[in-house]
Each structure stands twice: as structure tokens, then as C-alpha cells.
Chains A and B, each alone.
Chain A
Amino acid sequence: MYRTATGEEVFVVDCHSHFWDASPENQANKYGRGWIDCFYAYHKNLSPAEYVWDLTHYEKYSADDMVHDQFVKGYVDLAILQPTYLIDFYKNGFNTIEQNSVMKKAYPDRYILNGAFDPRDGEKGLDYLRRQKGEWNIQGVKLYTAEWRGSSKGYKLSDPESYRFLEECLKLGIKNIHVHKGPTIYPLNRDAFDVADVDDAASMFTDLNFIVEHAGLPRIEDFCWIATQESNVYAGLAVVLPFIHSRPRYFADVMANLLFWIGPDKILFGSDYAIWEPKWLVEQFMAFEMPEDLKAEYHAELTMEDKRKIMGLNAARLYNINPEEQMAKVRNDALSQQARQLYAA
């Protein structure tokens, strides 16, 4: 929970976090090395100096480190674990639901565990999706449409195979579809600039929510257009928000556009932990004021109420969380007590 200068409580849901293992022992090939090096560059480039980790720690951190950074230091009340499989790059996967489930098991009131699917897996994949529902009762999935699989360099959300999986999600009550449409951490041209497949899928499956992670950053103008058209398309702020520190004007520009095109009810906070720590992101976002010229041009105030929605209320709505109940659940757990000690000192 974040507390404003005037003592008001702000409910914080970190919609995007990972418990990964990129240690050299788990790297399967040069792609595994290249993947974590690239993540590390994002981390080092955009974090304030005092929040830059060393590479070894970044490759593999402990469960204790993670809950400390999110819930003790980082003001987070509830976090969503998003898996990233990468089984071609890492021997045991990079950050699978099985790996993430360790966190959920240890801190059941603090985490929401999301699953994943890949339509190229066919029947086997559908079975795996059902198994994830059965075992962990998942409410959401994280998809990487550009993930390499053998000779295939990706798929589209609008492919007939994808529709089969989305229909299954609908049937199973998995309502939140997080799609990585962000910087091209995966190579080839399919993902490089196209968010059109989200548009098609979102208009076909109006009872599912499509959360476009990183707001489609490399093609944010296309994304804004789609999100304006489709009422079930949301923007995840991971990667966008860290600019608030080093390039506040660019961040302001993007926020003004998002507020103008898609509005404050459809933007979700996420740290992308461990790429960035939530502490400084939350502090800087809560302190952020929209520059006057952008307020005037985009009618984008970014009021306290908007900030509350973005920080947690929007995610609570998508995941059927009652913020009051959630706060009551965690207010006196061990992590909250540590947080009070830390911030009282």
C-alpha cells in the first residue's frame, strides 16, 4: 500500500512480475545468454543508479528478495506473476508457471498466478491450458506471439489455431489475455510492428479482456487507434513507466496520448519485476504532474483519481478483486509489518 503525503491509502497491484532463472547453469545456448543480457540492458539503462543490481543477482534472485522488493519496499499489495517460457533458450524454462507457482504457494494472498498457451502446440497445448486451470485456477494468460518454436518465428492472435485457444479460455473462464506487443526482444518481422491481430481477436472475443503489454510501444500510435476502437483492449505500462525517471517529457507525452485515446480506466501499472523495482516506479508515478501544455492539448489531467485507477483499481476490476478486502487480508501479514518497520525508521 502506498500512502500519500496527506495520509491517503492507495491500493497497488503490480500487474507484471516474474520469478525467473537465467543463471548460466540454466542457459541452454547463446540465446539464453543474449536474452538476459538484453533484459539487463533495459534494467541498467532505465533504473536510477541506486536501483541497479549486479548481473549475477539479476540472473537469479531469491523468493525472499522478490517479496522484499515488491511488498516490503515496493508498496505493492498484490502482484500478478506472468510466465515467459523460453524453453528453447533455458533448460528448465526462464519463468514458467511451475517456477512462478513457488511464489504463489508461499504467499497465496499476495500473488495471482497467470498461465500461458501457444496455439502451435495444438491438442497438447489445449490440454495444458485445461491443466493450468485445474491446478491453479488461472484467470489470465500471458502470450508471446513472436516466440520462436522450431522453424516457426511466431504466430498471430488472429490465426484460426489462436481462436481455438481463445474459445477454450472463454469456456474455462480465463478472461484476461495479456499479449506482449512491445519492444522486439524477439526478432523477426511479424511482431516487429503489427498490433492488428489484437484488433481482430478483440472484436471477435468481446467477453475477453486484451491487455497489450508495453502499450505496443514500438507502434504505440497503431495501438492507441486499436484500443480506441475496441472497448476490451487495455494498456499495460511496463517499459513505458521507467521513462518517468530518465526522460520524463517522453513519459508525459506517452501518458497524455494514452489518456486521450484510451482513457484512465484502461491503463494498468506493472513493474516488469525484476527488470525494474516497483518502489521507485510507484513513488515517481504518484508524484508525477502532467505538464501544462499537454494538459491543454490532450485534456489529460492525470488526477489523483486517475492515478488510483492505474495503480490498482483497474486491475482489481479485471481480476475480480475487492480492494478493501485485499487490503484487509494483507494489512497485518509479516510483509506489511516489515514494511511499516522499514518506513517508520
Chain B
Amino acid sequence: MPHSDVSLTEQRTQQGAVTENQVYTAIADVLDPELDESLVKLGFIDSVQIDGADVTIIFKLPTFWCAPNFAYLMASDLKKQVHTLPGVRQVRVVLLDHCADEEVTNGVNQNRSFAEIFPEESTEDPYLEDLRRTFLRKGFLMRQDALIRALLKAGLDEPQIAALRLRDMQIDERANQVLINVNGNVLSLDNVVQSASKYLQRRSALALSMLPDDALIIDDQGVPLQAGHLKEFLRRSRSIRMNIMFNTSLCKGLFQTRYGTQTAQTPVEEGEML
């Protein structure tokens, strides 16, 4: 049956067209692995271009020299996330203004591994999955640090914290509340909703156990906190948190200096971190 141009366009719209909003929603959780922060929130997404069912995402980084291995992870995650949208046909990712912009852009769009793009970088981790995991682990410990400090501030002592189970914590994002059940008494924690929910997300992403009866506070290998060890626990997690925050502050500042734009502010989270 012959068909007109109109029906072709309709067909394409029905099958493919995605909106910019859908794309931004799909990539909302793509992280700068080192900063453990969303690229969208950081302002690193320059633009999204949509041509029917084809999507191009253009992104940029704080400096010309940002590590290409992280750039690779970001680019490949962006691509993967956009492909989860129904109806999307082709996805292209473009890295701007970077010492390895062509290598990363072409490599990721041709589905090549990091090791294939940069063969002189001998690596036993061609797709950088170990690297990704290292930083998920740091992100996990950083959120945990904020959570433990909020528990201490609410008056819990070390044995009580060690005794908490996952089911003892309820996160109510809409009410901006974290509720903790301590032997039947329910306490509300201040200003720690984002950290608590990201703590659970990272814990799950690390494939650490998530059963309701599991200890709430476990280390990055899954070993529960033992009463008497909290101080060491916190020193480690605090130095990790401090390092990520320091890097984030530096990178946001450099990005702003370079492009003259503000990165999206996340005052709530910063407030709860300090």
C-alpha cells in the first residue's frame, strides 16, 4: 500500500520520538564517579539534541585535563542510559573541549572498551568496572559517614547504632524525614534524607546484602559495625567524605571559572554534609 509523507512522520513519532525531558530523566543518575554526583546536577551536560529517534548528548568537564578514564565512564553511562528509553534508535555522546575529546567521543560511539581506545594504558580492567566499583564504594562510605553522624547527633550511643537493622530506618523523601526505630522509640533525624537514600542505593549497587534484618551499618565489604570500633570506622569514612567534598568543590569551581556558569546548587546536601 502506498503511503504519504505524513503517515511516515506519524509512524516515526509513534515509534520513536523522545523528548528532552525524557532524556534528562533517563540520565539523571549518571554520576561523575570521582565526585559521586549527578552530571546533570553538576551542570556538565552541555545540551541534548533530538532528531526523531536519534539522540545526541553533548557534555563537558571542568578542565582540559580531567582524567579520560572517568570521562570514558561518564560517556558510556550516558549512552547506556539513553538506550533504556523505548523508541530510541541511535545514541551519540560528544565530549567537548578536552585533551582526549576525539578519542573518547569516537571510542564510545563505536562501542570500544577503554583499553581499545587507549592501548598504551595497559590495564587489566578494560571497561573500567573495577574503577567504577572503587568509587561506588567511596560514595557508599561517604553517605554512611553522614548517616552515622546524624545518629550520634540524635543521641544514639555506639551499641545502639551497631544494633540497628535495615528495617529500623524509614526514609520519607516527601516529608524530608528519616525515621529511626530504637527499641520501639521512633526518632527523627535532621537533614540527612539524601545521604540516607543514596547510602541504600550505593549499598545495593555494590551488591551488598539488603535484607530487612541486616545490620544498618556495614563496611564496604559487608561486615557489620562492631561496638567499640566506631571511632576507626568514622575516621576512615570521614577522610573519604572530606576528599570527595574537597574534589567536588574544586571541580565545581574550575567548571564555573572555565564556562562562566553556575553548576546546579545542592544546598540541602551540602548543608547536611557539613
Q: Residues of A with Cβ closer than 8 Å to B?
A: 31, 34-35, 37-38, 41-42, 44-46, 151-153, 183-193, 217-221, 224, 243, 246-247, 249-250, 253-254, 257, 260-261
Q: CB distance A41 to B63 under 8 Å?
A: yes
Chain A residues, Cβ within 8 Å of B131 = 189, 193
> Of B67, B236, B243, B274, which one neighbours A249 at CB under 8 angstroms?
B274
Name the residue on B nearest A34 (C-beta). B64
CA distance A314 to B158 in the complex (A): 39
Can you list 17 A-B contacts (CB < 8 A)? A38-B65, A41-B62, A41-B258, A153-B118, A187-B67, A189-B121, A189-B128, A193-B131, A217-B250, A218-B34, A218-B247, A220-B243, A221-B240, A221-B242, A250-B242, A253-B245, A257-B242
Name the residue on B nearest A31 (C-beta). B99
* Residues of chain B in range 232-268 having any CB-CB distance to chain A below 8 Å: 235-236, 238-240, 242-243, 245-247, 249-250, 253-254, 256-258
CA distance A247 to B246 in the complex (A): 9
Given A183-B250, A218-B247, 9 more A-B residue pairs with CB atoms under 8 Å apart are A38-B65, A41-B254, A184-B67, A185-B65, A187-B67, A188-B118, A189-B68, A220-B243, A221-B236
CA distance A42 to B256 in the complex (A): 11
Q: CB distance A185 to B63 under 8 Å?
A: yes
Chain B residues, Cβ within 8 Å of A217 = 243, 246-247, 250
B69 within 8 A of A: yes
Chain B residues, Cβ within 8 Å of A186 = 65
CA distance A38 to B123 in the complex (A): 27
- Shortest distance between the CB of A327 and any CB in chain B (Å): 34
Given A41-B254, A224-B239, decide whether A187 and B65 contact each other with a Cβ distance below 8 A: yes
Number of interface residues of B (CB under 8 A): 37
Q: Mark B49-82, 1 if CB is under 8 A from A, else 0.
A: 0000000000000111111111000000000000
> Of B63, B123, B249, which one neighbours A247 at CB under 8 angstroms?
B249
- Contacts between the two chains (Cβ within 8 Å), count: 100
Chain A residues, Cβ within 8 Å of B68 = 187-189
Given A184-B67, A185-B65, decide whether A45 and B254 contact each other with a Cβ distance below 8 A: yes
B48 within 8 A of A: no
Q: CB distance A253 to B121 under 8 Å?
A: no
B96 within 8 A of A: no
Q: CB distance B257 to A41 under 8 Å?
A: yes
4 smallest CB-CB distances across A and B, nearest first, come from: A34-B64, A221-B239, A189-B69, A192-B67
Q: CB distance A153 to B65 under 8 Å?
A: no
Name the residue on A nearest B141 (C-beta). A221
Q: Mark B94-134, 1 if CB is under 8 A from A, else 0.
A: 00000110000000000000000010110100001001001
Name the residue on A nearest B34 (C-beta). A218
Chain A residues, Cβ within 8 Å of B274 = 249
Q: CB distance A45 to B243 under 8 Å?
A: no
Q: Residues of B with Cβ closer than 8 Å to A?
A: 34, 62-70, 99-100, 118, 120-121, 123, 128, 131, 134, 235-236, 238-240, 242-243, 245-247, 249-250, 253-254, 256-258, 274
> Of A34, A45, A152, which one neighbours B65 at CB under 8 angstroms?
A34
- Shortest distance between the CB of A259 and any CB in chain B (Å): 12
Name the residue on B nearest A33 (C-beta). B64
CA distance A243 to B252 in the complex (A): 13
- Shortest distance between the CB of B129 and any CB in chain A (Å): 13
> Of A188, A193, A224, which one neighbours B121 at CB under 8 angstroms?
A188
CA distance A37 to B97 in the complex (A): 12
CA distance A253 to B145 in the complex (A): 14
- Shortest distance between the CB of A145 and any CB in chain B (Å): 14
CA distance A46 to B258 in the complex (A): 13
CA distance A35 to B64 in the complex (A): 8
- Shortest distance between the CB of A34 and any CB in chain B (Å): 4
CA distance A41 to B254 in the complex (A): 6
Chain A residues, Cβ within 8 Å of B34 = 218
Q: CB distance B63 to A38 under 8 Å?
A: yes
Chain B residues, Cβ within 8 Å of A249 = 274
Chain B residues, Cβ within 8 Å of A254 = 242, 246
Q: CB distance B253 to A45 under 8 Å?
A: yes
Given A217-B246, A220-B246, A250-B245, decide whether A192 and B65 contact each other with a Cβ distance below 8 A: no
Chain B residues, Cβ within 8 Å of A261 = 239
Q: CB distance A42 to B247 under 8 Å?
A: no
Q: CB distance B253 to A151 under 8 Å?
A: no
Chain A residues, Cβ within 8 Å of B240 = 221
Given A41-B258, A45-B253, A243-B249, decide whether A221 and B100 contact each other with a Cβ distance below 8 A: no
Chain B residues, Cβ within 8 Å of A191 = 67
Q: CB distance B243 to A219 under 8 Å?
A: yes
Given A34-B99, A185-B65, A187-B67, decide whether A218 and B120 contact each other with a Cβ distance below 8 A: no
Name the residue on A nearest B71 (C-beta). A187
Given A34-B64, A34-B99, A247-B249, decide whether A192 and B243 contact each other with a Cβ distance below 8 A: no
- Shortest distance between the CB of B269 and any CB in chain A (Å): 15
CA distance A254 to B243 in the complex (A): 8
Chain A residues, Cβ within 8 Å of B69 = 188-189, 192
- Shortest distance between the CB of A215 and any CB in chain B (Å): 10
- Shortest distance between the CB of B248 and any CB in chain A (Å): 10
